[in-house]
Chains A and B, each alone.
Chain A
Amino acid sequence: MAEVVIEAENLTKRYGDFVAVDQVNLRLQAGEVFGLLGPNGSGKTTTILMLLGLTEPTAGLARVLGYDPQRQPLQVKSRVGYLPDQVGFDDELTARENLSYIAKLNGLRHPTGRIAEALARMGLGEVADKRVKTFSRGMKQRLGVAEILLKRPSVVVLDEPTLGLDPEAAREFLQIIRDLKREGITVLLSSHLLHQVQMICDRVGLFYRGKIVLEGRVTELAQQVLGGSYRVQLRAEGPDVTEILKAVPDVLSVDQREKSYYELEARRDVRAEAAHAAVSAGARLLAIGLQEPSLDDIYARYFESVGANDRSHLRIVGGA
């Protein structure tokens, strides 16, 4: 059985009457990449800060690598690398000097080699002695990761690591996270870029109003939220085949998005039957594809259903 690296039990944070994080339970195993999702202000950053001992929980328990971030923050912080959502450095100092300060704060004995190594690995070797004020956002972000690598942590926490990066830089970042995972480092990250999260995370947790409302592997969540349905897209010219497609067994619904474009929702993979039916009806089949359940769909569908609930709730209140 894998070791539990990050653990939260009924973790709660209140600001006055406002509950920012509401009884969150979380368990991350060693080597896992876990993604925190959720709308703005749903409590992701607050949860992260509590796990790092940077904010005091109002109630509940947190454990990181077996240490209590509240009582043993030094133990936690010397083993966990953290990239805040808005990363800033001492602009007047060079990249190397900034890392040197962090190395000293961590009590590293001979940091010179490690600093150079971390900078080189993040592709900052050439600009190591340039002042950070000349750095672009992406470079600062990479310097932030270099700082994390310097500590050789066993857990890495990244708050919106790809925020504001260009697509190429974001792709590189995802590769870095994969590399961390390969080295056996546990990664907890928050992000709004569902596509990226889906690509790199083993499991995700969806925050909504301070609670984790969904948690698990993407396929599990798809099962849960989308009802395990399959989406088949079909492009066929010629006669309208909506009714014919509807008659295919296990097809739940057919949506004709454009004149010759259909989207099917089915209980199983019905590509073969649907293609046969369309061709038999005299249509010219141009393309057919099966859409993997995406986190985007799950996210959108979940909030659709919550939104509907909210409205019904309002209606009840209004009618009373």
Chain B
Amino acid sequence: MVRARETREGSPWRGLWVVVAKEMADHLTSARMRFLEFLMVLIALGTIYMAIQNLRAGEEHFLFLKLLTTAQEPMPAFVGFLGFLVPLIAIALGFDAVNGEFNRRTLPRILAQPIYRDALLLGKFLAGLFTLALVLTAIWLLIVGMGVFRLGVPPEGEEVARSLWFLLATVAFGGVWLALSLVFSILFRAPATAALASISLWLFLTVFWGIVAGMLAQVLSPVQFGFPQEILSQANLELTLARLSPNTLYAESVLALLQPAVRALNPILPIQLHQAILGTPLPLGQSLLLVWPQLTGLVAATILLFALGYVLFQRQEIRA
């Protein structure tokens, strides 16, 4: 098997962009995506409107970034919603990518064309990613437009740069969930099963992983005498465990990118983050340095998951 793959002829990416174009067209016209786009626009309008109500009072720095992060009870901030919505959209884009072709019995026909499976799978992944990026960019533009209109001032250069990095981090975060749902769409023949598996994992990581990480840290690194070192090492372990979840990585990235005053993510728990905000904002370069591990972590997780899907798909019998 390995031998055959090493010596096979022709580009593995032949037909890649044909697949990307076809799949993107499918996504953008599907009822599923229209619904999610509608939801997204609704949430953007709602949260930004609320944020603007809150902001108007005092003139401040980084107004635009505050648009994204300001929450008003009972409404969470826009970025808070994104943490939920992006995985959902990514899962919606990927959960029936491969098994859908199986069930429509189109896979043998497509793979009988002169392309490799590599191109088909990567094409499906990229199409999902581009669709996600497209939707997010549209929302981003909408928010910028709303901001300019309501606040009456254009965003500063640094704000634009920071929010673009934020956009990138969001796409990377979506990439993880897209790759995951793609893996499930290869593993499970029934799209419903794949969707359920993806959503279960998402729920687990969102709701329970924080609790599990805390409990594990208590067990593995107990505080026996109440020394600060003990407490710190437990906190560090908990953070390390929490960072196994893409949700944590994303939350940290967003925090540092959108709140220039955040100076550290490491020794302090996310729940105690207000302690890390010490007035003077960091320049963008410094903030980026701070979240670089988080960003690369998201990208690495995406690549690993895609590689897993790739291996599974290469070995799969195409017969329905």
Contact = CB atoms under 8 A, between A and B. Distances in A.
Interface stretch (B64-72, B106-114, B243-251): B106-114
A87 B10 contact: no
A56 interface: yes
Nearest to A100: B22
B278 to A, nearest CB: 55
B189 interface: no
Given A71-B7, A71-B8, A105 B108 contact: no
Contacts of B115: 74, 77, 105
Contacts of B104: 88-91
Nearest to A45: B319
Given A71-B9, A101-B22, A107-B114, A82 B318 contact: no
Contact of A105 (B7, B18, B29): B18
Contacts of B29: 92
Contact of A74 (B1, B110, B116, B319): B116
Contact of A106 (B9, B108, B113): B113
Q: Which of B1, B114, B115, B116 has the most CB of A within 10 A?
A: B114
For A84, A87, A106, A107, which residue has the most chain B Cβ atoms within 10 angstroms?
A: A84
Given A74-B14, A77-B114, A104-B18, A147 B8 contact: no
B9 A74 contact: yes
Contacts of A106: 113-114
Contacts, number: 88
A72 interface: yes
B125 to A, nearest CB: 17
B15 interface: yes
A75 interface: yes
A22 B82 CA distance: 55
Interface in B1-54: 1, 4, 7-10, 14-15, 18-19, 22, 26, 29
Contact of A56 (B1, B105, B111): B1
A93 to B, nearest CB: 9
A71 B116 CA distance: 11
A54 B318 CA distance: 7
B164 interface: no
Contacts of B109: 82, 84, 87-89, 102, 144, 147
A73 interface: yes
Contact of A77 (B7, B18, B113): B113
Nearest to A67: B9
Contacts of A80: 112
B233 to A, nearest CB: 49
A49 B7 CA distance: 20
Given A56-B4, A74-B14, 8 more contacts: A73-B10, A73-B116, A77-B114, A87-B105, A90-B26, A92-B26, A104-B18, A105-B114
A157 to B, nearest CB: 9
